[in-house]
Structure 1
Amino acid sequence: MSADPGPAATPRHPVADLLLAAWRGPRPPVDGSWRRVPTWRAGVHAVVSVTGRAVVTAPDDVTDAELEALGVDGWGHAHDPRVMTRLAGRDGWVDVLDAVLVAPGTGEPDPRVVPRPDLRDHPRVRHALPIRGDVRVHGLEADDDTVLTLATGLGGLTEMSLEVAARHRGTGLGTTLARAARGLVASGEPVVACVSPGNVPSLRALLRAGFEPVGSVQVYLPRR
């Protein structure tokens, strides 16, 4: 009698595969190609690029031929504003172009960072709710302006975001929160962070906390 192999592992979304391959390998070919993939969350779309490759989730009324005519490729043109405008439609919402960084979870929570479900009206949380699933809110016990979120985000991977109260900026708290996010995820499991390249303090905090850049993303919500 053969042993029961147990339940099959759930396959990862192609966006997750692309990002994790860019992070830990095997690296995808650097050939300038792009491909269309399904969404990982109903109604939420994105253009994701890594070195020499891109993937696009697109509404059904946008054809591959249209995207090719607009110059979509794996060399960065997938993020062309004309492409994003066509994808989102005249009344759609397009997020800023973000750098994507990844770090492994450590499974070592920071006791200073505690669940704060009472902060679900914080602007950082309100931003996460329409585009991510299972949003969990953390923060500091005596601070209603500093927040850390963990959610099911880009490509179905765990995604974090943070905001440090203005009075605490420059103190290293951003790095502390980014490390705390890793501590809230099982050891070795990937944690994604998306940050505008112009947000230098947050980018530096993520790098100091052990996150590594792997690509870029623009999330959008089409209106049809």
Structure 2
Amino acid sequence: MLSKIDNTIKYGKQHGGFGIQILYPGLTRPQRNDSGFSTIGRIDHARITPGTLIPMHPHKDDEILTYLRSGNVKHLDSEGYTDIISNRKLMMMNAGANFYHQEQVLEEGGTLEGLQIFIRPETAGLTPKVQFFKLHDTYSNNRWRQIAGKGSDYPLQIRSDTWLLDLRLEKGQDIVLPQAPSENCAFLFYLFDGKVSVNKTMALARGESVLIEDESPTFRAVETSDIVLFITRTNAVYFEEGMYSGNLHG
């Protein structure tokens, strides 16, 4: 099954220089009565002007990946970590039982654009921790790159059956899904930027996505496109009451 998720399903928020479009992927399947889809709770596509401060605020029972494509951010958190996040340096905040952080968008990096991704952990009350990973290259051209997931072959660890990959698909190039890391997997193909056709019958524009179950589609870049791929086990064990990843209907 292929389920297109267009931009009309997103929730928009704007406050000063801070703007986000929020995707709850489960809203495409209302019969499940879950705003998330298995372990994928929520995806925020953010655009934030330089100089914006997101003050210290809490998180609880969320696994949070900060994935930037432009902009530089100074990070500070309650675990004592501080660092600069960019399109070459990613951050995973495994919030666990109790966690606070603040983010300052730096002037020298220009406008921030990126994703803040909320994944559901297997259980509540885990020990909070923070991970950073520096990418070898800003983009992975025409080849899936492992970013975060469960297992030693993923540089950033997620504490549930969830895996994230990315690539830049150059204009005219085709790609298929990577091999699933486990049984009973579904895929969410998120088009960060560009234009892509799916099986030559479905068109995706910037910010749109497609949820894939029991299908093996072919994707073609109509123009050079940046893609983030989410993989989750449909029968995964997860905690659905996280502060941000939790079920809106719960």
Structure 1 length-normalised TM? 0.26
Give 1 or 2 for the bigger CA radius of gyration: 1
Structure 2 length-normalised TM? 0.24
**Higher relative CO (CA 8 A, sep ≥ 6), structure 1 or 2?**
1
